[in-house]
Structure 1
Amino acid sequence: MNLAKMAVSAALATALLPAAALAQVAAGATVYGPQGGEVGKIVSIEGGTVMLDTGTYKAPLPENAFGKSDKGPTITVTKAQIDAMMAEQVAAANAKRDAALVAGAAVITAKGAPAGSIKSVEGDAIVLESPSGAVALKREHFAVDAQGALMALFTADQIAAAASAGTTSE
């Protein structure tokens, strides 16, 4: 389920939950699993989506996924289960990114503007040919957006500055 759908479902469910159940769901709170083990800490809450840091991943969860216990907020899954789900999602996203990272592929910026095209791919070293010149990036600096477009995780201004400076992104 994508983040927008989770946020909408969480917002609807929030109206149905008693305020006391949500009172414990706050940034900094420790979250516990079904057997009482620590799952992680809440990093932030925005738009009905709770960002839970398991120590391995930061997982977005709908606010209505949390219950209340004497220890604090609870969820019905363990840290291992959340980490496994997140690992699967990260692997799938990386596979899409890697399949899209080919010479000649069009690239957009983090804000959706055209960024140029892939000039070369050698392992984790990627050269983006931008309107401002070539920029050396790493594989981790790219993702595939919800529409399937290859995206550099930078703004047009950042890419132009890197091209003008002739620097390699670290």
Structure 2
Amino acid sequence: MRVETKRILLIGGPGTGKTSLISHFKSLGHTIFHEISREVTLAAKKKGIDQLFLTNPILFSELLLKGRISQFNDAPAVKKPVVFYDRGIPDVSAYMDFVGTTYPKKFTKANTLYRYDNVFFLPVWKEIYQSDNERYETLEQAIRIQDHLKQTYTNLGYSLIEVPFAPIEQRGNFILNSL
């Protein structure tokens, strides 16, 4: 029997609690496709590039796009009814719009070729926002990124489901009950 896999996407600017929510879903046994930007950033740092996104945003974004398309294509092999993604393919062009960089048409083409079933939007949570070695954005920049993400996904025809501020378990239940 073939299992139809629903692709559930979590989006939001930096500092929204996505990583904690993803960890919660993983602890419940759900399949997770993790955010790959930290991996790309850390690999670049090993090559002596402190912030690849700031140094070469096109290369950084091409690496993200390639990785996210691979994650998207890997979902059916999981053979589970639901998989979760920490960020999606359209995030790439949203971030490029945030920095005001023109980018190849393959970025926007990928946004229409690969579609997620549900998109949950986590707003920036000022009380939990922190920067670190891989998250260099200020709170104000995080809010602007959030606005670009919302605009990008809305323009692509997604109906964003906003996840309320609450403890992790309640946020997780909100998402699971919305499926």
Per the TM superposition, whether the score is higher than 0.5 is no
More helix by share: 2
Query: By percentage of residues, which structure has more strand?
Result: 1
Alignment TM-score, normalising by the size of structure 1:
0.25
RCO higher in structure (CA 8 A, sep ≥6) = 2
The structure having more radius of gyration, on CA atoms, is 1
